[in-house]
Amino acid sequence: MVLRAALISAVLLPNPVIADIVKLSNSGICHDTNSASYNRTKNYSPFDTLEDCVDAGGRLPKGYTPNSLSTTSSEYSRSKFGHGWADVDRDCQDSRTEVLVAHSVSPVKFKTEKKCSVESGRWTSLFTGNTLYSASKIDIDHVVPLKWSWDNGADSWTEDKRKAIANDPANLIAVEASLNRQKGAKGLDEWLPPSNQCQYILRFMRIKQKYEIELTNSKEAIYQSIQNKYCEH
């Protein structure tokens, strides 16, 4: 009876983990459970948090500022580096779109005639060397992760400097969404891509130097050792 009750419960009761996912709609809007459109959004890509959804190129509903993106906390949040991708030149193409356009080796196809969002193109992933065609399968990776930079001094930066590293083309690459999420906020001592490790390491180190991110002597030695190992020739 206990086993049967457990099976019935598993089938009939709502799953709180599934209910709490963040939905990235086909129109590119991130909906958490506080969004009025959450239950109406049936076709979506799931994310664990709003920060992950926004970082993958989604945007918040107009006029919606959820508690999880509040800037009052001293802890890390994606909003400390700007609310999503910035449209610096105000041409309707945000940083994600501009990276997709710039990195595609063939002319991109836009979703609409306004050319604000990319639907498809042809990209070569730095992480694997694989060719990618669908923009919806791509994440724009921050080579130096934002949370990693926060943990290593960006918590004391100005807001403008944090927005700069979040939208700096030198710090952005188009890669497989699955690998970008596997990487998360890991530094060089915790994660390296399956391919092109030296290229990735050198880019990481250049961005770290550009934004004057200083590590402890021991960690700096570890990073230098990693660079020497993968870029010895």
What is the rounded distance in angstroms from the CA atom of residue 30 to the CA atom of residue 52?
10
Residue of 140 and 32 predicted with greater confidence: 140
For the chain, what's the residue count? 233
Closest C-alpha to 157, from 82, 221, 47: 82
Q: Does the predicted TM-score (pTM) go above 0.85?
A: no
pLDDT in tens, 141-162: 999 999 999 999 999 999 999 9
Which single residue is written with the structure tokens 């390491």?
201
Residue of 8 and 139 predicted with greater confidence: 139
Residue of 63 and 34 predicted with greater confidence: 34
Q: Which residues contact 207 (CB under 8 A, 6 or more apart)?
A: 143, 144, 165, 168, 170, 171
Residue of 77 and 194 predicted with greater confidence: 194
Q: What pLDDT, on a 0 to 100 scale, did the predictor assign at position 15? A: 39
- Residue 13 has phi, psi (to 5 degrees) of -80, 145
- What are 54's two structure tokens? 């926004």
Q: What pLDDT, on a 0 to 100 scale, did the predictor assign at position 63? A: 66
Closest C-alpha to 192, from 128, 132, 131, 146: 128
Q: What pLDDT, on a 0 to 100 scale, did the predictor assign at position 37? A: 82
Closest C-alpha to 197, from 165, 228, 166, 174: 228
Residue 59 has pLDDT above 50, yes or no: yes
Other CB atoms closer than 10 Å to residue 19's CB: what's the count?
A: 9
